Chains A and B, each alone.
Chain A
Amino acid sequence: MLDLPSADLGWSSVRDIVAAVAAGRATATGIVEATLVRIREQDPLLNSFTAIVERRALARARAIDEARAKGQKAGPLAGVPFAVKNLFDIAGLPTVAGSKINRDAPPAARDAALIERLEAAGAILIGALNMGEYAYDFTGENIHDGPSRNPHDLNRMTGGSSGGSGAAVAGGLVPLSLGSDTNGSIRVPSSLCGLFGLKATYGRLSRARSFPFVTSFDHLGPLARSARDLALAYDAMQGPDPEDPVCADRAVEPVAASLDKGIDGLRIAVAGGYFKAKSAEAVSAVDSVAAAVGSNRDIEIPHADRARAAAFVITAAEGASLHIHRLRVRASDYDPAVRDRLFAGLLTPATLVIKAQKFRRWYREQFLKLFAEVDAILAPATPCTAPLIGQDTFMFGDVEMPVRANLGLYTQPISFIGLPVVAVPVPLAPLPIGVQIIAAPWREDVALRIAHVLETKGVAAAPRPPI
């Protein structure tokens, strides 16, 4: 029983799938079977999946259908297929984190916390997704698994490091994916692939049983094709977790029910200075979003360039320290671009790292003062639309900059202090580009409400690709 046509199911929202399953108009088994067919047909183009847990997914779907047949209430995400960046532990699989080296690791004994929470709500894990090696990446390219490909132009980058998470959702393979965001790795692929992405407040979503990159900045979160779908997933994943020392001891604060409250009374400004967009696409996207929400003021974020620099230094040193033992014995098994950055990170003077961490606190104090004046701040998500796969540099104004290190130059100063951000896609032709909606800590509801309004006005939308 599946009255959602298979072709449209790929573009069905989380909300539609949940409603269809709850009303008995679709079965979880039918949805999973159709999802697996789509992946087999289309993923050879997108290269987004690195593992598919078919038997597990079908078993889970059958259990949900049997529970429904017995009259049990469906969970809030019943029947929703989802996939995760392959740095999330999946019981029975090694957590490869985009690497060659971790393929030799023993299989994970237990799922990552966020997988457990989504499945407790009725969602169904389909598989693991391609990513940049060890998450040290903004491109979505992977030397071992090949690049994930942008569904809007298969010759272009997805953005990274959650590249497969972007390709799988933007390509209509699954309606929901999970990624990680240390310096922008949810927001960059959301921007380049035309998706909604949520990087919640640092410490809001548990990172338990995921492979780390830079624990000072590591966040996990969802990518989807609507703000409501983000909210539904976010609500299912919130809550304290003693198994992640960073996870806040903070009660669940559901946001999905508040999406329709609108934005009346919200003070929304556009980030100026460092965040002033330079490409025509980024300028157009920010301007259209600002106009749609009635923002008529700019706001200066002090020393954002230093914030980005400090994030860069901490990432280099802390990220590298995680790998020192592997680098000593298996340096040749790393992606050369990652290996060179990690070696350089190991040589970073400690004094710079400590100073960067002190600056982080100072910058946070200055930034939080801005939220006395505004409720949300708009900024570009990426400096450009999706570059070509293999492209080394891009033009930032009149300066040529390396792609790999700089696609996240607008995202790094925000995740540096853990602020919640929703990246919304502006469906420009021929390629989409994202805008960040930045809110005060723990105010994901504000960013999601703004994203939802932009969606209802047609300014933000996940464009359907031609594949």
Chain B
Amino acid sequence: MKRKKTAKKARAAKPPARRSAKAAAKLKPAAKRNAKTAPKAKTIQKAKTVPAKGKAARPDMLDAMLASGAEALKLPIDPAWRGGVKFNLGLILRLGALVDGFALPDDTEPGPVFHA
């Protein structure tokens, strides 16, 4: 019940990736510079590989991610722990979709900047 409500709330947020390219270009000067050459926001959104708009991930998808990730990273996830891990992975993906669905200019630097 509570997860449904939370997901509903997350879906209610308006994804800014739905903005027009013109609106997206208002985000910062760099966006204006890229407006002609950068893919439109909608094109960027199509490339998403995780659920968009804050949708909950499907349980079978979480199972697959958990199984393959645990094998690849050699993680000893006991079967009894999978429910908790899946719940948290679903939460991460749902919140991650909020970030993923936001169009940013291609030249945006990540927060940390390394100085040689």
Interface residues of A (CB under 8 A from B): 216, 303, 305-306, 308-310, 312-313, 316, 324, 327-328, 331, 336-337, 339-341, 343-349, 351-352, 354-362, 364-365, 393, 398-402, 405, 417
- Per-residue CB contact flags for chain B residues 81-102 toward chain A (1 = under 8 Å, else 0) read 1001111110111011011101
Given contacts A327-B75, A358-B109, contact A345 B92 (CB under 8 A): yes
Could you jot down 29 A-B contacts, CB within 8 Å? A303-B102, A309-B95, A324-B75, A331-B76, A336-B84, A344-B85, A344-B87, A344-B88, A345-B88, A347-B65, A347-B69, A347-B89, A349-B96, A351-B100, A352-B92, A352-B93, A354-B110, A356-B96, A357-B110, A357-B111, A357-B112, A359-B104, A361-B109, A362-B104, A362-B108, A365-B28, A398-B5, A400-B2, A405-B91
Contact of B78 among A216, A331, A349 (CB under 8 A): A331
Told that A309-B95, A355-B100 touch, could you supply 14 new A-B pairs with CB distance under 8 A? A310-B99, A312-B92, A327-B75, A328-B75, A337-B84, A339-B84, A340-B87, A343-B85, A344-B89, A346-B69, A346-B73, A347-B89, A354-B110, A362-B27
Contacts of A305 in B (CB 8 A): 13, 98
Q: Does B116 contact A (CB under 8 A)?
A: no
Select from chain A the residue with minimum beta-carbon distance to B5: A399
Residue from B5, B93, B98 having most chain A Cβ neighbours under 10 A: B98
Residue from B16, B50, B76 having most chain A Cβ neighbours under 10 A: B76
Contacts of B92 in A (CB 8 A): 312-313, 316, 344-345, 348, 352
Contact A362 B28 (CB under 8 A): yes
Contact of A358 among B9, B66, B86, B108 (CB under 8 A): B108
The B1-47 residues at the A interface (CB cut-off 8 A) are: 1-2, 5-6, 9, 13, 16, 27-28
Contact B99 A399 (CB under 8 A): no
A387 to B69, CA, bound (A): 35
Chain B: minimal CB distance from A352 (Å): 4
Q: Does B58 contact A (CB under 8 A)?
A: no
Contact of A343 among B1, B75, B98, B100 (CB under 8 A): B75
Contacts of A398 in B (CB 8 A): 5
Select from chain A the residue with minimum beta-carbon distance to B72: A347
Residue from A339, A344, A357 having most chain B Cβ neighbours under 10 A: A344
Contact of A346 among B1, B9, B75, B110 (CB under 8 A): B75
Interface residues of B (CB under 8 A from A): 1-2, 5-6, 9, 13, 16, 27-28, 49-50, 65-66, 69-70, 73-78, 81, 84-89, 91-93, 95-96, 98-100, 102, 104, 108-112
Contact of A364 among B91, B100, B104, B111 (CB under 8 A): B111
A417 to B111, CA, bound (A): 9
Given contacts A324-B73, A340-B85, A399-B2, contact A358 B104 (CB under 8 A): yes
Contact A303 B16 (CB under 8 A): yes
Residue from B13, B98, B99, B108 having most chain A Cβ neighbours under 10 A: B99
Contacts of A346 in B (CB 8 A): 69, 73, 75
A191 to B17, CA, bound (A): 36
Chain B: minimal CB distance from A275 (Å): 15
Contacts of A341 in B (CB 8 A): 88
A318 to B70, CA, bound (A): 17
Chain A: minimal CB distance from B96 (Å): 4
Select from chain B the residue with minimum beta-carbon distance to A308: B95
- Those 5 A-B pairs whose CB atoms lie nearest each other, nearest first: A340-B84, A344-B88, A360-B111, A357-B110, A309-B95
